Amino acid sequence: MGRVLAAGVCGSDLSLFRGGPIAERLWPLVLGHETVVRVDASSHVLAERWGVGVGDRVFVEEFIPCGWCQTCRSGNYRVCPRTDFRSERFVRYGRTSLDSGPGLWGGFAEYLYLHPDARLHPVPDSVESQVAALATPIANGLRWVRTVADTQPADNVVVLGPGAHGLGCVAAARQVGAHEVIVIGRSSDGQRLDVATALGATAALRIDHDDVLAEVHRRTAGRGADVVVDATGSAEAASLAPRFAARSGRVVLAGGTTGPADDFPVDLVTSRELSILGVRGHDGYDIARALRLIEAKTADFSLMSAPATVLSEGAALLTDLCADDATGHAPHHVLVPGPEPADADRDVEE
Ligand SMILES: [Zn+2]
């Protein structure tokens, strides 16, 4: 078990909180898959495997891959059948039923069950647990922008959507040394666009106010962007993304919450020879790099998150976010359980 210290709120949590066919299939469950815990004595074998000690703070990856299926053995454990809710073998943090095993599969609780196949990462001493909970969006940014899109120094990058994952992409693009890093949101994204600028975006455009296509072309000497990332999860944005891309550009589609995009411009994909790259999350290497980036304080990543909300107020927070999740809220929220009980120390010493 791990005593939960901080748990990030992801947009996908809101989708499940709202309900719908997938939620109905998965409920009842404990949400939360961006979790920092303190390892207790019951997980000493797992802790030893990952090179951490009982009592240490660790970030727990959301995937619990089997390690032996074909995709796991190829190193691509993000698509292990265990990560797919349609599979009989499905098990994943924040998505697994209370009726399965010990039931504590989510970070929005005081304790998290640490499965023997859980993947742990030590949190550096200088990083607060609440900031470490941002490792997921930053890891996604690193993977999507750097690993998958192979963004190079002096490339021009456009990021659609200034939510937590979009901001992770901004941070990653800056880290790589991109020339222009243009983030596109809506006027209602106010605070999120400000955070993008603080993280190093060279322009923060509002699609309902600015001539975004013209501005991207102006800033890229008429070429368009070498890399475009759609981090919105909307079919509309996925169809828009190729229009910002330069010839031979790479278009990363990260949104996984919508259905088919009817207006997807296949003609542009072929005429400009674009590469369309689908992505799903990150792997352990990205999490480790994200934690190191946070530790290095190359930017004030704490800006990405609103002040933490205590767990007992979590349902009210989710209700608020669902009611108006496009009205300039902070991009990322974190739940904390409140003070650790005194007996947590005793567990550590056993
Ligand atoms: Zn597997």
Is residue 285, in this structure, part of any structural domain at all? Answer: no
Distance 105 CA to ligand 1 centre (A): 18
286 Cα: distance to centroid of ligand 1 (angstroms) = 18
Is 204 in the same domain as 86?
A: no
- Sequential pLDDT tens for the chain (350 residues): 999 999 999 888 888 898 888 888 888 999 999 999 999 999 999 999 999 999 999 999 999 999 999 999 998 888 899 988 888 889 999 999 999 989 999 999 999 999 999 999 999 999 999 999 999 999 999 999 999 999 999 999 999 999 999 999 999 999 999 999 999 999 988 889 999 999 999 999 999 999 999 999 999 999 999 999 999 988 889 999 999 999 999 999 987 656 778 889 999 999 999 999 999 888 899 999 999 999 999 889 999 988 899 999 999 999 888 886 555 577 788 999 877 666 544 444 43
| Residue 219 domain boundaries | 137-278
Q: How far is the centre of ligand 1, averaged over its atoms, from the C-alpha of 241 (Å)?
A: 32
Query: The CATH number of the domain where 152 resides is what?
Result: 3.40.50.720
Q: Distance, CA 78 to ligand 1 centroid (Å)? A: 8
CA 117 to centroid of ligand 1, rounded, Å: 10
Res 330: pLDDT? 75
How many A from CA of 275 to the centre of ligand 1? 27
Q: Are 183 and 205 in contact (CB under 8 A)?
A: yes
Ligand 1 centroid to Cα of residue 89, in Å, is: 9
Q: What's the angle, vertex CA 211, arms to CA 187 and CA 303, rounded to 5?
A: 35
Q: Which two tokens stand for residue 39?
A: 């390892």
CA of 61 from ligand 1 middle (Å) equals 15
Residues 29 and 100 in one domain: yes
Whether 94 and 119 map to the same domain: the answer is: yes
pLDDT at 235: 87
List of E strands, the chain: 2-9, 35-39, 57-60, 111-112, 120-122, 157-160, 181-185, 203-206, 225-230, 245-253, 275-278, 309-310, 333-336
Same domain, 149 and 272: yes
Q: Measure 263 CA to ligand 1 centroid, in angstroms.
A: 35
Residues 141 and 274 both lie in one domain: yes
**129 and 141 both lie in a single domain:** no
Residue 183 CA to ligand 1 center (angstroms) comes to 35
CATH code, 57: 3.90.180.10
CA of 205 to the centre of ligand 1 (A): 41
147 and 114 part of one domain: no
Distance 154 CA to ligand 1 centre (A): 37
